[in-house]
Structure 1
Amino acid sequence: MNYSQLAVLQQALKTLESGCRVTLATVTRTWGSSPRPPGAMLAVADDGQFYGSVSGGCIEEDLLARLAAAPVEAPEVVSYGGTAEQSERYGLPCGGTLELVLEPMAPQLAHWRQVVAVLERRESVCRTLALSSGSVELGPAGRGDETRLDNGFLKLLLGPVWRLLIIGAAEPSRYLAEMAQALGYQVSVCDPRPEYTRGWNLSHTRWMPGMPDDAVTAMDADERTAIVALTHDPRLDDMALLEALQSPAFYVGALGSVRTNSKRRQRLAEHFGFSPQQLQRLHGPVGLDIGSKTPAEIAVAIVAELVALRHGKVLIAADSE
């Protein structure tokens, strides 16, 4: 299930427009271990439908029963796991504590339409909710903005869906596509080789026809886009990298050993004029160094590196073959 902010809000908006009352629960702070970060959302309708997650499942049952039967009338703050009894009752891991803001969505229907439109344009926005009055304001997202609850105001950072473009449709790509989709990525795949095109049948992915460089250009990559070249054919992988390394993509990776990627960097510098700074952006060998050998293990290493980068962790590159 896709738990992106956009996916939750799109489904909630459809439910609102059908006449249901919907309560939006947003994670504002966590203490200890928590499966979902600030900004994670759960929308609960009075007909029992729900979208998203705020805890990975351990407190959803309580919220669903509570909010479907009695949707909130005004914004309020609730906490889970503040006591030993609550931690045991709701199964919060490692004694974690979760703070949420609950708010009714119906009074701000036009506002939510505007928010969804902004996210569908792949723009980021900062939403400020006054808990005392329920009034809201939208403003541009600034560098360093983050979701937080402060002095009666919820400042919520909303951004577009994270995307992954995979070049190559062999077995590692299949595992990577499935894992990335579970992490909330919109996954696109390109492979001009007919034998791989025929065998690709993952319905949740978008197939991009043409050559790899055309696919990267068509992707119109931004700071929430990752591009991974996995064909193991330097002609195809390099075509993608020529465009990807000049894009704002937050992650550009290529399959191959240390030696293979050293030769690749040399080619890109000598024949295409890439600077050392541009080549530093290339994650090659792709993925974290966890000793990956099988296609599934290579995919695990890649998604682990994507997760680590998004959380600002210092990385060690993998030595994949």
Structure 2
Amino acid sequence: MDSIDLEVLKTCEQWLRAGRPCELVTVVKTWGSSPRPEGAMLAIAENAQVIGSVSGGCIEDDLIARIQTEGFTRTIPEIVTYGISADEAHRFGLPCGGTIQLAIEPLHSKSQISNLLAGLAAHKLLARELNLQTGAVTLRSAEAHESLRLSETQLVTIHGPRWRLLIIGAGQLSRFLANIAVGMDYQVTVCDPREEYREAWQLEGVQLVHDMPDDTVIAMQLDVRSAVVALTHDPKLDDMALMEALKSPAFYVGAIGSRSNNAKRRERLLELDLSAEQIARLHGPIGLYIGSKTPAEIAISILAEMTAIKNKVLISKENQIEFAKEAQQPVNTSSCQL
């Protein structure tokens, strides 16, 4: 599963190879509320074929209408702003006071789209520097902390997975979790030293390693853009890896299991010379309560919790339990979510 922006770039490459005129549209700045974040992309080709999104649909409709009536007339990039007036904001489906600024770039053979995709396929983090006065493009290595930058003469966009996810265990749940995470722009590594699990693993875009999980955690040098999820149910594999992960700056560390199993896990971690503060960082049972039962639903609940933590959204397990009670849904305390 590719991310939306990766699909946009791949489609642009196909259009360029076929000789079809096309433009790449990037959200470069927003004010107030906006449907799509900075860096979101859309591409449009002849016959008004569109992939990607920069708004709830109305801006896309306007871009399509202009292509249908005027064709492709730009020869250099242009910065366009929507939603300056209240009437225009309402027309384009922007929330009250919302304004969105777009860079519209005519693509050509020197736009570096193929080279960018080749770098992304090699899991590189790249900066694409677009000269707004000439349309020239250069690529360079980027740092994880870099973000989109716009000046009077240049637009710099960052491409590639800036978030990393280590999944311990190569089971069925790991497959769903990894597949969705790749679509969310995570660089995913699955670690499982058990040969019987590794032999059945096949998932494009995911690295599979067979070292011991704690060695893998150390080797990855986890940072604040890293997450670790332990899914084996085997303390011999999970506990040592969790110990190393909880000592790291990783923004999220979680482990599957029931409430009672996670209580026992915390007792074991205390014996591994971890502080109470470090153990308190462990998310377990893992995931938000959404009544999930299947592996796919559990994967969604895990990534929902990861996303909330990544976005600094305060969540409460207790509130989730109360919500389930009010909805007259049984709270399964032996599940992976609560």
Indicate whether the TM-score tops 0.5.
yes
**Structure 1 residue 114: Cα displacement:** 2.2
Shift of 1:127: 2.5
- Contact 1:22 1:45 survives alignment (8 Å): yes
By how many angstroms is 1:232 displaced?
Answer: 5.2
1:140 paired with 2:141, answer: yes
Instruction: Name the residue aligned to 1:60.
Output: 60
Contact 1:4–1:161 under 8 Å retained in 2: no
The answer to whether 1:255 aligns with 2:252 is no
SS at match of 1:59: helix
Aligned residues with identical type, % of pairs: 45
> Alignment RMSD, CA only?
4.4
Q: What is the aligned partner in structure 1 of residue 293 from structure 2? A: 295
Tell which deviates more after alignment, 15-24 or 246-255.
246-255
Per-residue CA deviations over 1:147-196 (Å, capped at 9, x if unaligned) read 132233212122237676665767x779867865775668888998x9xx
Aligned partner of 1:123 in structure 2 is 124
Mapped partners of 1:156, 1:144: distance in 2: 12
Unaligned stretches of 5+ residues in structure 1: none
CA spacing shift, 1:184–1:159, aligned 2, 3 Å: closer
Using the TM superposition, name which of 260-269 and 220-229 deviates more.
220-229
| Amino acid of the structure 2 residue aligned with 1:20 | R
CA distance in 1: counterparts of 2:33 and 2:255, whole angstroms: 33
1 CA distance for matches of 2:208 and 2:144?
32
Amino acid aligned to 1:46: E
Matches within 5 A, 1:196-275: 213=213, 226-230=227-231, 238=239, 241=242, 251-257=252-258, 259-268=260-269, 270=271
Offset of residue 137 of structure 1: 3.3
| Greater gyration radius | 2
CA offset digits 1:45-90 (Å, max 9, x no partner): 2244332221243422222343463263210011222222222222
The farther-off stretch of 228-237 and 69-78 is 228-237
Helix, strand or coil: the match of 1:15? Answer: helix
Which residue identity is paired with 2:161?
Answer: P
| Structure 1 residues 123 and 48: CA distance shift in structure 2, 3 A | same
Task: Provide the rounded CA distance (Å) in 2 between the counterparts of 1:140 and 1:185.
Answer: 18
Q: Contact 1:286/1:317 (CA < 8 Å) preserved in 2? A: no
**Partners in 2 of 1:244 and 1:22 — Cα distance?**
45
CA distance in 2, matches of 1:42, 1:265: 46
Aligned residue in 1 for 2:160: 159
Unaligned runs of 5+ in 2: 322-336
Following the alignment from structure 2 to structure 1, what is the Cα–Cα distance between the partners of residues 140 and 182?
Answer: 30
Partner residue in 2 for 1:27 = 27
CA shift, 1:29, in A, is 0.8
Match of 2:81 in 1: 79
Q: CA deviation at 1:97?
A: 1.5
What is the distance in 2 between the residues matched to 1:106 and 1:161? 27
Match for residue 42 of structure 1? Answer: 42
Aligned residue identity for 2:306: L
Distance 1:293 1:212 in 2: 33
SS at match of 1:33: coil
Aligned amino acid, residue 32 of structure 2: G
